[in-house]
Amino acid sequence: MVGLVVLIACFKVHAFIALILASLMVGLCSPLPLVDVAKAFQEGVGNTLGFIAVIVGLGTMLGKLLAESGGATVVANTFIRWLGPSRLPLTMVIVAFIVGLPVFFGVGILLLVPIVVSLARETRLPLLALGMPLVAGLSVSHCLVPPHVGPMVALDKLQADVGKTILWSSAIGFPIALVVGLWYSRWAGARIPVSLPEAGAASPAAAARRRTPGFAMTVFTIALPVLLMLLDTVAKLILPPSSVVRAWAGFAGSPLVSMTVAFLFSLWSFGFDCGFGRQQLLKFTEECVGPAASIMLIVGAGGGFSKVLERAGVAETIATLAKGLPLSPILLGWLVAVLIRLAVGSATVTITMTAGIIAPIAAQSATTHRELLAIALGGGSMIASHLNDGGFWFVKEYLNMTVAQTLKTWTVLSTVASLLVLGATLLLDLIF
């Protein structure tokens, strides 16, 4: 872990390369036969990407179509009209949480910060009074709610139910986003002045579309994969195992199928119906290959590192030590995620690695609520976003802050949110 910090933070080595080097070092220092070190890493990469690569690719493409169609702006403007200008911070939390469901944290910032800057300029509100609610909603949605990559990897490794996790993570995450986003926006906006950035250029594709999608259509398209996954959970609860309807619900609710259906539907709702032609839609999807490849490399390397740690006996050692500690698996998982987050930076890599380490512990505990454990790992992956986290630099640059201002605002906000997630999961685990 120290090596990862040094490579990423000090020597600016790409996280993909740093994770490979860290994996090889762990393997060389373990009792593993040398020939098995590289094989373990390759197996971990394959297992992780075999499950998550399609979700990353389809999610990135869906987010691109949402951006080019103007759907994010439609959602924001509708909530502003409903709730009124006096409730703009609340509006930004709601919009960010909804828009953040199908898109990555950085993509959400790219989509919504221009709206925040425009509103701040028109209303003369401090930029951070709207920017902090925005990043709060995006961060919680990204780290806690499936079908984002980190939560999906955790669900796969912990054998947790997708639909139940969506319900629990939404019930926990949205109120926490409201608390940290609204409370901290008042403090930061009043005490940390930030000048407005220059207005960005409009998307070249905006001139090509005939119309923007409607509000209901936009929200339905964004929520479609989540709805299909929830349908699978409901079918399991009310229908017998032999039911044909339950079988089809399980098929449609699988992450692969639900994301594919949502993307295909978005080609019409965010594409053809908005006036884009086949060549433009092909161009949009091709532009997603680069960002998706970078994400998959890092996530895959995180899975490889996790497998090497497992084969080297690290997971079993932690599991053995944990038996003698007066800690619940949820608290232990959160603490491990915090340590890895501080070392690695990436929330997605953190959840991937922690889930691999904690899975043997969860398997030995019959009373552990798997869905709450997955949410706790996501909460631990949020804490103390700092200089080795790509999200830190997104927030700094797009909200026009200095490094010191970003540490005082975004880093503190992410830490408070992480602690609240831990408290909520422990409380619900105690109750249920």
Q: Which residue has the higher pLDDT, 40 or 303?
A: 40
Q: Which residue has the higher pLDDT, 249 or 325?
A: 249
Whether residue 431 is predicted with pLDDT greater than 50 in this model: the reply is yes
Whether residue 200 is predicted with pLDDT greater than 70 in this model: the reply is no
User: pLDDT digit string (tens) for 63-82?
Assistant: 788 878 888 788 878 888 88
pLDDT of residue 419: 97
pLDDT of residue 202: 47
Name the DSSP letter for residue 366: T
Q: What does 247-298 look like in DSSP terms, one character per residue?
A: HHHHHHHSHHHHHHHHHHHHIIIIIGGGT--HHHHHHHHHHTHHHHHHHHHH
Q: In the chain, pLDDT over 70 holds for what percent of residues? A: 92
User: pLDDT digit string (tens) for 127-175?
Assistant: 898 999 999 999 999 999 987 878 988 998 898 988 899 999 999 999 9
Query: pTM for the whole thing?
Result: 0.74
196 φ, ψ to 5°? -75, 135
Whether residue 413 is predicted with pLDDT greater than 90 in this model: the reply is yes
pLDDT of residue 183: 87
Which run of H or of E encompasses 93? Answer: helix 88-99
User: pLDDT digit string (tens) for 294-351?
Assistant: 777 877 887 788 788 778 877 567 656 665 677 888 998 999 888 888 866 778 878 8
Tell me the average pLDDT across 192-199.
74
Whether residue 199 is predicted with pLDDT greater than 60 in this model: the reply is no
Whether residue 181 is predicted with pLDDT greater than 70 in this model: the reply is yes
pLDDT of residue 373: 95
User: pLDDT digit string (tens) for 85-99?
Assistant: 788 899 999 989 988
Tell me the average pLDDT across 376-400.
85
What are the sequence ranges of the domains in the chain? Answer: 2-431
355 φ, ψ to 5°? -60, -40
pLDDT of residue 201: 43
CA distance to 89, 95, 106, 186, 417, per residue, from 133 (Å): 6, 10, 15, 10, 12
pLDDT of residue 109: 82
148/56 Cα distance (integer angstroms): 8
Q: Which of 53-62, 120-129, 173-182 tops mean pLDDT?
A: 173-182
301/314 Cα distance (integer angstroms): 17
Work out the pLDDT band at 8, boundaries 50, 70, 90.
confident
Tell me the average pLDDT of the chain.
Answer: 84
CB atoms within 10 A of CB 195: 8
Whether residue 354 is predicted with pLDDT greater than 70 in this model: the reply is yes
133/77 Cα distance (integer angstroms): 16
169/143 Cα distance (integer angstroms): 9
User: pLDDT digit string (tens) for 263-296?
Assistant: 999 999 999 999 999 999 999 888 877 767 877 7
